[in-house]
A = this chain, B = another copy of it.
Amino acid sequence: MKTNELCNCSILRSSSSKITSIYDKALSNNGVKVMQYALLKYIYLMKSPNLNELSAALYQDRSTLGRNIRILERMKLVSINTGKDKRQIQIMLTNHGTVTLQEARKAWELVQKKIEIKLGKKKQEQLIEILNDIQSIELKL
């Protein structure tokens, strides 16, 4: 049995893990992880979305988002209110969340720039293009 070819999935998983730890470290002075930073950013950009909207924007499971949002709430970075439709929750940045986003933004820019330099402009662009391809893959299995 040959079992030693490179698995697209495994290498993507470990690269994702590696780069996550780099960004997490870069943001650690701001007290947030990169996923939390991304959430804050989207909540800001989407102007107090509900869970459904956020999960659609991030292509992520609603229950995942719900749990992650509650962590941000515990951290006092967001506040959660019920909307007019009482099923929905409206997610807003607190002042602390807004400040954290602004500060973390600087750290994010730094590490993003460093990665781009390490990788080079060409590979950077290729990476984005290929990952976009992957995200739009629809396989009938």
Contact indicator per residue, chain A 20-44, by CB within 8 Å of chain B (1) or not (0): 1011011000000011001001001
Q: How far is the CA of A133 from the CA of B118 in the complex (A)?
A: 9
Does A130 sit within 8 A of B, measured CB to CB? yes
Chain A at the B interface: SS class: helix
- Provide the residues of chain B in CB contact with A45, threshold 8 Å: 3-4
When the two chains form their complex, are residues A12 and B1 in contact, meaning their CB atoms are under 8 A apart? no
Known: A16-B13, A59-B14, A105-B1. A38 touches B123 (CB 8 A): no
Q: How far is the CA of A30 from the CA of B25 in the complex (A)?
A: 37
How many copies of this chain does one complex carry?
Answer: 2
Which of A47-55, A67-75, A78-86, A106-114 participates in binding chain B?
Answer: A106-114
When the two chains form their complex, are residues A114 and B134 in contact, meaning their CB atoms are under 8 A apart? no
Closest to A29 in B: B141
Q: How far is the CA of A102 from the CA of B118 in the complex (A)?
A: 39
With beta carbons under 8 angstroms apart, the residue of B20, B23, B44, B134 that contacts A3 is B44
Q: How far is the CA of A116 from the CA of B26 in the complex (A)?
A: 34
Write the nearest CB–CB distance from A65 to chain B, whole angstroms.
Answer: 13
When the two chains form their complex, are residues A12 and B9 in contact, meaning their CB atoms are under 8 A apart? no
